[in-house]
């Protein structure tokens, strides 16, 4: 099934409906403007300027930048996602809108440890990641629990000429996965490592944070390596033994 839809009509973004005073005082919680570079201080001053034209203009400028960055980012990632065409553009606009909301809500959290615009762009980049993960399941190239073990050598970057030579150790990896990992570890490891499902997509599917999935993979990698060392396939220092 190919999923493709035209971009949905875009209502007035929620960030434009935020009332005056919805952003906490930066002056109270954040650094003084003297501690910031001039551009960052200017952004903060204008975005904290109450409900007047100054603030509205700053919000328009920032949102326009976020849209531009989001469109560039989905384009940059287009080769690695099944999301295409108008849906990809829609993802970019949604990411920019949601990033804008988050930035305005967290303005008081900005502590001047980086330039303001770098801090702001981080929100939109992370929104793009998260949304592409969720949209992955509308047209997934592989289903959850497909368990394509025959693809593992490619996933690990093993040269096709070495596939036969690596068959023994990969069989041992599979044995450890089947016998030693917990059911949750096994499911996550197979989905991400064996089937190549993007980590963010699996996180969205399982309603978990990226970090939770990464931790499961981290623990599984450590457990598998310990087993391969214990069974003589790898040395503790990482040198080939068989």
Among 96, 198, 204, 216, indicate the residue that binds another protein (CB under 8 A): 198
Contact yes or no for 44/26 (Cβ under 8 A): yes
**Region near another protein per CB under 8 A, out of 15-23, 53-61, 64-72, 95-103:** 64-72
Q: Which of 156, 171, 178, 232 binds another protein (CB under 8 A)?
A: 156
SS (H, E, C) 128-181: HHHHHHHHHHHCCCCCCCCCCHHHHHHHCCCCHHHHHHHHHHHHHHHHHHHHHC
Query: Residue 214, interface with another protein (CB under 8 A)?
Result: yes
Main-chain dihedrals φ then ψ at residue 173, nearest 5 degrees: -60, -45
* Count of residues that interact with another protein, criterion CB under 8 A: 47
With beta carbons less than 8 A apart as the criterion, state whether 93 and 67 touch: yes
Which spans in the chain are helix H? 26-29, 38-47, 53-76, 85-105, 116-135, 152-155, 163-180, 183-189, 199-205, 210-230
Q: Contact between 136 and another protein (CB under 8 A)?
A: no
Among 60, 159, 171, 175, binds another protein (CB under 8 A): 159
Q: How far apart are CA 33 and CA 81, in angstroms?
A: 41
185 forms part of the interface with another protein (CB under 8 A): no
Shortest distance in whole angstroms from residue 20 CB to another protein = 27
Per CB under 8 A, residues contacting another protein are: 68-69, 72-73, 76-77, 113-115, 117-119, 121-122, 124-126, 128-129, 153, 156-159, 162, 165-166, 169-170, 173, 198-200, 209-211, 214-215, 218, 221-222, 224-225, 228, 234, 238, 240
């Amino acid at each position: 099934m190919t999923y493709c839809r035209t971009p949905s009509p875009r209502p007035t973004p929620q960030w434009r409906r935020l009332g005056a005073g919805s952003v906490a005082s930066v002056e109270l919680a954040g650094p003084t403007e003297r501690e910031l570079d001039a551009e960052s201080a200017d952004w903060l001053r204008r975005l904290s300027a109450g409900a007047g034209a100054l603030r509205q203009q700053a919000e328009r400028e920032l949102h326009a930048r976020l849209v531009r960055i989001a469109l560039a980012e989905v384009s940059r990632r287009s080769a690695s996602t099944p999301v295409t065409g108008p849906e990809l553009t829609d993802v970019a606009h949604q990411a920019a809108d949601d990033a804008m909301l988050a930035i305005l809500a967290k303005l008081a959290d900005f502590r001047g440890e980086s330039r303001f615009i770098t801090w702001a762009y981080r929100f939109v980049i992370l929104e793009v990641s998260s949304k592409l993960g969720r949209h992955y399941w509308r047209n997934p190239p592989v289903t959850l629990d497909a368990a394509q073990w025959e693809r593992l050598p490619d996933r690990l970057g093993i040269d096709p000429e070495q596939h036969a030579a690596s068959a023994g150790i990969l069989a041992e990896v599979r044995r450890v996965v089947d016998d030693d990992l917990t059911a949750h570890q096994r499911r996550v490891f197979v989905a991400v490592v064996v089937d190549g499902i993007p980590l963010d997509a699996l996180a969205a599917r399982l309603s978990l944070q990226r970090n939770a999935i990464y931790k499961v993979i981290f623990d599984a990698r450590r457990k598998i390596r310990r087993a391969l060392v214990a069974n003589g396939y790898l040395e503790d220092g990482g040198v080939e033994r068989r």
